[in-house]
A and B are shown apart, each in its own frame.
Chain A
Amino acid sequence: MVGLFDRAFKGSDEMYALAEKALAEALATHDESTPAVFPNTAYYAACIYEYTGIKVMTLGDLKSAMEPIRAMMTRNYRTHDVFTSGIATAMAAEVIELCKYLDTDTPYNGEYHGHMNDAEVRELGVPLVTRDIPGFVVIIGPAPSEEEAEALIKGYQSRGIFVFLIGGIIDQAKNRKLSMGFPVRIVPVGPDIWCASHIISLVMRAAMIFGAIGPNQYDEMNKYTFERIFAFVNAFDPVDDLTIACGACAIALGFPVITNDTKDMWRVPKTLIIQEDTKDWIETSLEARDIKIKVTNIDIPVSYSSAFEGEIIRRPDMQVEIDGSRKDCFELCITKEAHEVEDHKIEVIGPDFDEIPVGSKMCAAIIAEVAGKSMQSDFESVFERKFHTFVNCMEGIMHTGQRDLIRIRVSKNAYEAGFRIRHIGEVLYAKLKNEYAAVIDKCQVKIYTSTDELHDLRKMANEIYDKRDERLAGLTDENVDQFYTCILCQSFSPSHVCIVTPERLGLCGAVSWLDAKATNELDANGPSQVVTKERVIDENVGSWEDVNEAVAKYSRGALERVTLYSIMEDPMTSCGCFECICGIEPFSNGVIIVNREHTGMTPLGMTFSEMASMTGGGVQTPGFMGHGKHFIASKKFMKAEGGVARIVWMPKALKETVRDRLNATAMELYGIENFCDMIGDEESCGNGDPEELVNFLSETGHPALAMDPMM
């Protein structure tokens, strides 16, 4: 590395000498009181102002800056010396450039852009801060060929990256008749490497304007530029010492340098990257600077809107149908390594709609492969479940089902408008990238449509689904480190906080632990926040100090304690969205559960809505609790009071929905077979009379009758 340091130091010395020379020449013809300012800026010579605090107004001021600049060119062979020397290089370069502006505001006569005024800094700064412009590149070159120069520039332009050009690449771009200027986001800065100081000046001013960084704030400045300004450098072979010294400045500010020069060059991971294949520069650069490109428009021949979500395609209007109930079909979202995914690659393997007879069924596997630093395989199923909505929002396309039971119908109109199977890939790509930008860095879609491959592929998919189900089944409250809050409903139920655990999903039934986990990852300030579970109070009733603190915090003090597994002691509150309510039934020592869809009477003498009015609104009513359907078969259901064995009555329809899972739970917990048959319903207990219920329970030998009283 000493070699690299030496080259940077040498380049820095060279730049300083050039600055001294430029200054001496200027002083030979001008006196020290000559104004020395860039046009239309309130930040003086911004690099010099930031790092020395000197407000350069005259040639005399500029001269006085030379010593402080040299003072930063320390030579102790630590990284810090290279960084400060790099910054001194940029300041020396600024001296050279400022000398050109002594007699004129337009030293480059429009041929090059040179200095950028404050208005331009704001114009570029706003979209840079909002990330509407995802970042900017400084290309220093000439490229090996004009064609390559054009391809690189246009590649960045098409991704919305702002491009600054320095050196020979400007003439190459001109020869290729590329239109350039601030509005098209390609700016030819200047012919020489010291013109890079104009870009550093822009960075300095952006940080001062948008980050409130003041002069002489070395650490704050470099932290701000690293965290907030998404810039990087592409330097073509050959890279001389001057350029290396300027590169050191870029790196000090957090901007990686990518080059194809291999002579006397040293790789520094994520910082100084040697990529000999310049065709890969865009991808390498974006990855190095953590830049994600937003997809702004979806390239499909039909309209896309939530208005089309409910659209039904009838058989006579149908061009083709992907039908999982008859053919091998499935959709899948899987995580891959970053290098395995080529962003925005849409591959169709097999026949397209053209080759399928009108009105017939075809097979298809739609696989979205995603990669990202924050991606977790737990999110796959959360994202995959959204495919339904994503695909359904296309005009003329209908999607139902999930996994290997999907059905996608394409209307004749959509087909005639040019809709082909790859467009499903385009939509999935765009939606996944946009909605889950926080975790998905890259995405590619593969669509298989030939019968011979699909059988095996489906088997592979089913193995993945099975594995996911196993993971879900294996997820227990004990084997995770954290729960999540959900406070989505506080807009109408201010004091309610759901604590979502693997074995207790949100009471609305719509937010599982995995959903909450994904929500937290995607929206750090959103409704789902992490709740640790380190300080247990009583594991049997499900109380933790951490959980109580979270409930107190997120209910804003309205609630101080909840238990997760008890309905008698501090039961969890409800917003009002509960799928079901369970309530204590005193005659049988048990509880009844009634679901929202059930309009009839219950053995408590209350209907669902009557019970709802005393359960919702974020209040704790011991003996009553709102919950999701899925929770009924959980081993944590009323665990503190003895678990599911307490369930004595449910509407028939609800019982059928949970039968298999509930029977399995009862078998596992108590060794009871066909437990659901012991539970009363509106038929076995026709007039909702508690005595009739107790009689029925005695006949079936329901375990609740023999249990301790709940009150």
Chain B
Amino acid sequence: MPLTKTSQKFNASINAFTIGTGDKAVTMGGENVLPFYTFDAPIENAPKIGAEISDLGMDKNVPGIRDYYAGAEDFTELARRASAIPGVDFIAFALDAADPNGEDRSVEECVEECKQVAEGTDLPIVIIGSKGIEKNETLFDKVADALSGKNVLLMSAREENYKTIAASAGLAYSQKIGAESAVDINLAKQLNVIISQMGVKPQSIAMNVGAASAGYGFEYVVSTMERVKMAALQQNDNMLQMPIVTPVADEVWNVKEAVVSEEDIPEWGPQEERGIQMEVVTASACLASGSNAVILRHPASIAAVSKMIRELI
């Protein structure tokens, strides 16, 4: 019996979502098929990769990262280096030092750092806030003002602080907003609904539906992303049609596979190798489950994942 191929493209699609401006602006989403299902319908905007840099400086324990950024004295140079990694579509700047329980760097300093980053790159910028949920309100307010006109994505607005971020970054400064929820489709949807009710257009919202490193409860992430995509495409749920941006680096570079040294567990092999593998495995699984963009740290991971995307799309 001959095999008749039926196309599984849907009548609904993921929102096309653009960050940055000019030639280097990046558009993600827009597809009306499941991830990488190019045989059902063409996927116009391939998944994107962001290179993560931190205002705490780059990881000194991972030779590949340390050496790549060696001698970068300021954030402008960090951003310049990150932009030069082949396969990078945008820069993700993490304001880790702003954490009130950590270094508690002032909002003014952080704003200054963001401006420096903007000087070092013409790629789109994603700002990843601190661990201080309350602090991110003022932080994003000021950063959104300072980077006005650059069409940046601010990660993330959560249920606790979305109001200020939506009003300020979303409405007053017309930036993009990442809505972050914890691995639960209903919470993800609810957050999109309430941010939209503030007046922010659904087209200005991306989602971070939660992340985990592969092997660390990752099946919940897969299941959530899968259901979000099915709801968006199959059921045309326009409150779940926002593209998904997943910060992978911060998850994987903190698990024991990436952290334990070779001296401590020789049979695991070289530490850096393990970290890269965790990053690549997690990122590719996220992309296969529905992420429209991943944020990575190691140049080798970025090379591997961008090769995968190129070959599949």
Which residues of A are in contact with B by a Cβ distance under 8 Å?
A: 122, 125-127, 129-132, 209-212, 228, 487, 490-492, 494, 525-527, 556-557
Contact = CB atoms under 8 A, between A and B. Distances in A.
Nearest to A131: B163
A527 B199 contact: no
Interface string B161-180: 00110111001100000000
Query: Which residue among B171, B184, B234 has the maximum number of chain A CB atoms within 10 Å of its CB?
Result: B171
Q: Is the interface of B mostly helix, strand, loop or mixed?
A: helix
B91 interface: no
Contact of A130 (B145, B167, B183, B231): B167
Contact of B185 (A131, A490, A526, A557): A490
Nearest to B190: A525
B202 to A, nearest CB: 13
Interface string B96-140: 000000000000000000000000000000000000000000000
Contacts of B198: 129
A292 to B, nearest CB: 15
B183 A209 contact: no
B187 interface: yes
13 contacts: A125-B167, A126-B164, A126-B172, A127-B164, A130-B166, A209-B171, A210-B199, A228-B199, A490-B184, A490-B185, A491-B183, A525-B194, A527-B186
B187 A491 contact: yes
Nearest to B173: A122
A556 B231 contact: yes
A210 B163 CA distance: 12
Query: Which residue among A122, A131, A526 has the maximum number of chain B CB atoms within 10 Å of its CB?
Result: A122
A210 B164 contact: no
A210 B172 contact: yes
A487 B186 contact: yes
Contacts of B171: 129, 209-212
Contacts of B203: none
Contacts of B141: 126
B223 interface: yes
Contacts of A556: 227, 230-231, 235
Given A126-B172, A494-B185, 12 more contacts: A126-B141, A126-B164, A129-B171, A130-B166, A210-B199, A212-B199, A228-B199, A490-B185, A491-B184, A525-B190, A556-B235, A557-B235
Query: Which residue among A125, A129, A228, A526 has the maximum number of chain B CB atoms within 10 Å of its CB?
Result: A129
B205 to A, nearest CB: 15
Contacts of A525: 190, 193-194
Given A126-B172, A209-B172, A212-B199, A557 B234 contact: yes
Given A126-B172, A211-B199, A490 B167 contact: no
A229 to B, nearest CB: 12
Contacts of A228: 199
Nearest to B193: A525
Contacts of A131: 163
- Nearest first, the 9 A-B pairs at minimum CB distance are A130-B163, A491-B184, A129-B167, A210-B171, A126-B167, A122-B172, A126-B168, A525-B190, A525-B193
Contacts of A211: 171, 199
Contact of B164 (A130, A209, A212, A526): A130
Query: Which residue among A127, A228, A494 has the maximum number of chain B CB atoms within 10 Å of its CB?
Result: A494
Nearest to A122: B172
A228 B199 CA distance: 10
B167 A491 contact: no
Interface extent on B, as a size class?
20 to 34
Contacts of B186: 487, 490-491, 527
Contacts of A127: 164
B164 to A, nearest CB: 5
A690 to B, nearest CB: 38
A487 B185 CA distance: 11
A125 B190 CA distance: 24
Interface in B189-231: 190, 193-194, 198-199, 220, 223, 227, 230-231
B194 A129 contact: no
B263 to A, nearest CB: 39
B125 to A, nearest CB: 21
A33 B84 CA distance: 51
Given A130-B164, A209-B172, A210-B171, A494 B223 contact: yes
Nearest to A488: B186
Contacts of A126: 141, 164, 167-168, 172
B179 to A, nearest CB: 13
Contacts of B227: 494, 556
A373 B171 CA distance: 30
Interface in B5-52: none
B99 to A, nearest CB: 21
B300 to A, nearest CB: 35
Nearest to B183: A491
B132 to A, nearest CB: 17
Contacts of B163: 129-132
A210 B200 CA distance: 9
A373 B8 CA distance: 50
Query: Which residue among B167, B187, B193 has the maximum number of chain A CB atoms within 10 Å of its CB?
Result: B167
Nearest to B184: A491
A125 B184 contact: no
A200 B186 CA distance: 40
Interface in B138-158: 141, 145
Nearest to A558: B227
Contacts of B220: 492
Contacts of B193: 525
Contacts of B168: 122, 126
Given A122-B172, A494-B185, A132 B164 contact: yes
A491 B221 CA distance: 11
Nearest to B171: A210
A526 B189 CA distance: 10
Nearest to B163: A130
Contacts of A209: 171-172
Contacts of A492: 220
Nearest to A130: B163
Contacts of A132: 163-164
A490 B185 CA distance: 8
Contacts of B231: 556
Given A129-B198, A494-B227, A526 B190 contact: yes
Nearest to B239: A525
Contacts of B235: 556-557
Contacts of A130: 163-164, 166-167
A228 B145 CA distance: 23
A67 B234 CA distance: 55
A125 B172 contact: yes
A122 B185 CA distance: 33
Nearest to A554: B186
Contacts of A212: 171, 199
Nearest to B227: A494
A228 B193 CA distance: 17
A282 B220 CA distance: 51
Query: Which residue among B187, B194, B199, B220 has the maximum number of chain A CB atoms within 10 Å of its CB?
Result: B199
A484 to B, nearest CB: 15
A555 B190 CA distance: 15
A556 B235 CA distance: 8
Nearest to A118: B172
Nearest to B226: A494
A122 B145 CA distance: 10
A130 B165 CA distance: 9
A9 to B, nearest CB: 35
Contacts of B164: 126-127, 130, 132
A125 B164 CA distance: 10
A416 to B, nearest CB: 32
B82 to A, nearest CB: 31
Nearest to B231: A556
Contacts of A490: 184-186
Nearest to A556: B231
A490 B228 CA distance: 13
Contacts of B194: 525
